[in-house]
Chain A
Amino acid sequence: MRTLKTSEAAALLNVSPNTLRAWERRFGYPKPQRSAGRHRLYTHGEVAALRDALQQGLSISSAVSRAREALSTDTHTLVGALGGFELDRADSAMESALALRSVERAVEEVLLPSLDELGERFGTDSAPWAFAARWADGWLRRAQRLSPPPVRRLAILVGDATRSELDPDALAVRAFELFCGRSGARVMALPVAGVSGLSDVVTSFAPDAVVIAGSHLPDDDVALWAYRVRATAGPLPLALFRSSHQSAPVRTTGTRILSAEPFGALRQVLASIDERQSSEVAPLPVSQPEHDRREARR
């Protein structure tokens, strides 16, 4: 995917960088990603679609609407391909989506909405849904295998509480795992239903955060799994993703409810790890007289 800096995108649209930022605030388009140095990076496809739409437009709002429509054709194509059981065409639709977007946005803007549409159209207990969900699961796993190796010293443990790959939440969980891997973190998904030998795995993996994802399993199973993890790894940040308690307004247990969007959820998890690491202040050294007093008390 080709990306443009603000000045390059502005030059392509024949406007100033300030105008481009004003459009982002007012219209939410073009929507840049951020580089490692927090600079805006625009996808070439979005900017080119807007440039073409501006040439034929009567207002910037209508041009933005037209550019968005042009980009949404990938979703229609993917829905059509999966609805017609054409795997090659579905792969091509994702290739086209990736030409215009990052992997994260291609998944969130094309793959997941297409599957949502198919689920609504056919029902999530239907054969067309099973066909589409298995294809999407395979695509996400393939993308995860192709992700660059971990570069951060971060490990995220995912407790998978979904039913199977046909669970409507399972694809979002796979997407979350993919995004964790692409962010440079190590990620491991374990089924919440299995607690046997869990402490050995947790000790070896040494997670920095735990995410329980999905809502298929009963609360008791989830609580048992979380208890076992915390008993081994200590008081780690625990978060719920796509849980049935997603709408619970307040949690007094310190458990965080994550955004239902995989990329938003990842950002929240990374932020909570950063918060925890920055709040972990090294204990002050104890003076010798104080040390002696403590020893005497014992």
Chain B
Amino acid sequence: MRRLHALRPVEIDERGLELVSFCGHCGQRPDPLIASPSSRVCGHCALGLVLEAGAELAPRPEEPFLIVDTSLSICAMSVAAEALFAIDETDAVNQHIAEFLVPADANAPSAENLLALLVDVAAGCGEPCTTVVRPRQEFGVRFSARIGPCGSPRAALLVLA
């Protein structure tokens, strides 16, 4: 009986992968005890909306992450990313992703690859993947970035690790 009690419903995406919810600002998983079931606003920080992404892609609370749409504009920035880029989310929103991150993968032929990848993912036709990026005009710093779809509405999630 105790084992059955531990069962929980798992949401899956169209590829059959498990989806988890997280706050688009603090990155915390929503707590059903404090979150209103019909509200998309995070019950922990009240400054982000609850989004969904694949379990392997979804950020942990301490990981900086960005969310971009098909126009490659920043739609959300985590509190850890605010500290990393030294900018408030309110100022970062609607700026182009290239203002913040550029590819740092020596094997990548050009910056367009990262942008094309993000557009594809945000449009729902790209697969989750990992790449290497660096902050714009910063050298000697590289981040491994997990990129994949999130929503809703559909967008690309870029988690820096």
Q: Which residues of A contact B (CB under 8 A)?
A: 13-16, 18-19, 22-23, 26-27, 54-65
Given A14-B36, A27-B90, residue A59 in contact with residue B46 (CB < 8 A): no
Do most interface residues of chain B lie in helix, strand or loop, or is the interface mixed?
A: loop
Task: Pull 26 A–B residue pairs with CB atoms less than 8 Å apart, ordered by A.
Answer: A14-B38, A15-B39, A15-B41, A19-B46, A26-B47, A54-B40, A54-B49, A56-B153, A57-B49, A57-B75, A57-B153, A58-B49, A58-B51, A58-B76, A59-B48, A59-B77, A59-B89, A60-B25, A60-B48, A60-B49, A61-B92, A62-B75, A62-B93, A62-B94, A63-B49, A64-B90
> Which residues of the other chain, A, contact B94 by a CB distance below 8 angstroms?
62, 65
> Which residues of the other chain, A, contact B92 by a CB distance below 8 angstroms?
61
**Would you give the shortest CB distance from B93 to chain A, in whole angstroms?**
4
- Residues B75 and A14 in contact, CB atoms below 8 Å apart: no
CA distance A164 to B41 in the complex (A): 51
> Which residues of the other chain, B, contact A18 by a CB distance below 8 angstroms?
46
The one of A13, A23, A58 that contacts B67, using a Cβ cutoff of 8 Å: A58
> Which residues of the other chain, A, contact B77 by a CB distance below 8 angstroms?
59, 61
Q: Which residues of B contact A (CB under 8 A)?
A: 24-25, 36, 38-41, 46-49, 51, 67, 69, 75-77, 89-90, 92-94, 153, 155
> Which residues of the other chain, B, contact A63 by a CB distance below 8 angstroms?
49
- Residues B41 and A59 in contact, CB atoms below 8 Å apart: no
- Residues B90 and A61 in contact, CB atoms below 8 Å apart: yes
> Which residues of the other chain, B, contact A65 by a CB distance below 8 angstroms?
93-94
- Residues A61 and B46 in contact, CB atoms below 8 Å apart: no
Interface contacts (Cβ under 8 Å), in number, total 65
> Which residues of the other chain, B, contact A23 by a CB distance below 8 angstroms?
46-47
CA distance A54 to B50 in the complex (A): 11
**Among all A-B residue pairs, the 9 with the closest Cβ atoms:** A59-B76, A58-B75, A19-B46, A14-B39, A61-B93, A61-B89, A62-B75, A58-B76, A61-B90
CA distance A13 to B36 in the complex (A): 12
Do most interface residues of chain A lie in helix, strand or loop, or is the interface mixed?
A: helix
The one of A26, A58, A60, A62 that contacts B41, using a Cβ cutoff of 8 Å: A60
CA distance A27 to B47 in the complex (A): 10
**Would you give the shortest CB distance from B26 to chain A, in whole angstroms?**
12
> Which residues of the other chain, A, contact B89 by a CB distance below 8 angstroms?
59, 61
> Which residues of the other chain, A, contact B24 by a CB distance below 8 angstroms?
58-59
**Would you give the shortest CB distance from A204 to chain B, in whole angstroms?**
52
- List the B residue with the shortest CB-CB distance to A57: B49
> Which residues of the other chain, A, contact B69 by a CB distance below 8 angstroms?
58
- Residues A61 and B40 in contact, CB atoms below 8 Å apart: no
CA distance A64 to B36 in the complex (A): 21
> Which residues of the other chain, A, contact B46 by a CB distance below 8 angstroms?
15-16, 18-19, 22-23
- List the A residue with the shortest CB-CB distance to B150: A58
**Would you give the shortest CB distance from A55 to chain B, in whole angstroms?**
8
The one of B51, B76, B155 that contacts A61, using a Cβ cutoff of 8 Å: B76
> Which residues of the other chain, B, contact A56 by a CB distance below 8 angstroms?
153
**Would you give the shortest CB distance from A56 to chain B, in whole angstroms?**
6
